[in-house]
Chain A
Amino acid sequence: KNEVEQSPQNLTAQEGEFITINCSYSVGISALHWLQQHPGGGIVSLFMLSSGKKKHGRLIATINIQEKHSSLHITASHPRDSAVYICAVSTQETSGSRLTFGEGTQLTVNP
C-alpha cells in the first residue's frame, strides 16, 4: 500500500463544475504538496501547506493533520484545468527529508 493515496484516479467534469481531489497519507509529515502536470508533461507546484487552507485564484487546498487528509478544490472548472494533479508528502527521516508521491488524479474538464 502506497503511503500516499489519491482519489479518484480519474475524474471527468463539465466546465463550470466544482471539483474535489482527495489525498490521504499514512505517515507523519512536515508538509504536503499539490502539483499539476500539464498534458505536455511539465510539472508545476500549486501549493505547499502544513496546516489549514491556502487559496490561489480558483484553486483551494486544505489539510487536516489529525485525519491525515488533504483536499484540492477547483471552483468554476475550465477545460484548461485538465491535467494530472499529484499529491506529495514530505517526511523526516534520519537521512533527511524526502517527498513521497501519490499516483496522481487525471482530471478532464469538458467544454
Chain B
Amino acid sequence: DTAVSQTPKYLVTQMGNDKSIKCEQNLGHDTMYWYKQDSKKFLKIMFSYNNKELIINETVPNRFSPKSPDKAHLNLHINSLELGDSAVYFCASSQGFGGSSPLHFGNGTRLTVT
C-alpha cells in the first residue's frame, strides 16, 4: 500500500490552463504539505494543513489554491498556468505538526508548462 500517493505523476499542459494535482495519505497523519522543487532541486514549502486547517501559506501566487476536503486529502489547484510553474511538486504528510516528526513524501508530480 502506498502511504502517500499523488496523481498524476506527469502533467504537461499549456500556458493559461487550469490543472489540479491530487494527494492522499493512508497513514492517519494530521498534517499534510505541498512542496515545490525547482530545476536546481531546491525544495520549498508552499502550504501546510493541519487537521484540514491551513497553517502555512508561503509567498505563493494566489493562482495556487490548496483544498483539503478531509484529513487524508490535500489537493492543489493551479489557475492560469505560467512557464515558471514548471517544477516537481511533492505532497507530504507527518503525524506531528511542522517538522516535529518524520515526513512521508509522495513520489512527486512533474509539471511542465509549455
Contact = CB atoms under 8 A, between A and B. Distances in A.
Interface of A: 30-31, 33, 35, 37, 41-45, 48, 84, 86, 88-92, 95-99, 101, 103-104
Interface of B: 40-45, 48, 50, 55-56, 88, 90, 92, 97-105, 107-108, 110
Contact of B56 (A45, A90, A92, A98): A98
A99 B107 contact: no
A41 B107 contact: yes
A91 B99 CA distance: 8
Given A41-B107, A42-B107, A43-B90, A90 B99 contact: yes
A88 B99 contact: yes
Contacts of A35: 103, 105
29 contacts: A30-B98, A30-B99, A31-B99, A33-B102, A35-B103, A35-B105, A41-B108, A43-B90, A43-B92, A44-B105, A45-B105, A48-B101, A84-B41, A90-B98, A90-B99, A95-B56, A96-B97, A97-B98, A97-B100, A98-B56, A98-B98, A98-B99, A99-B45, A99-B99, A101-B43, A101-B44, A103-B40, A103-B42, A104-B42
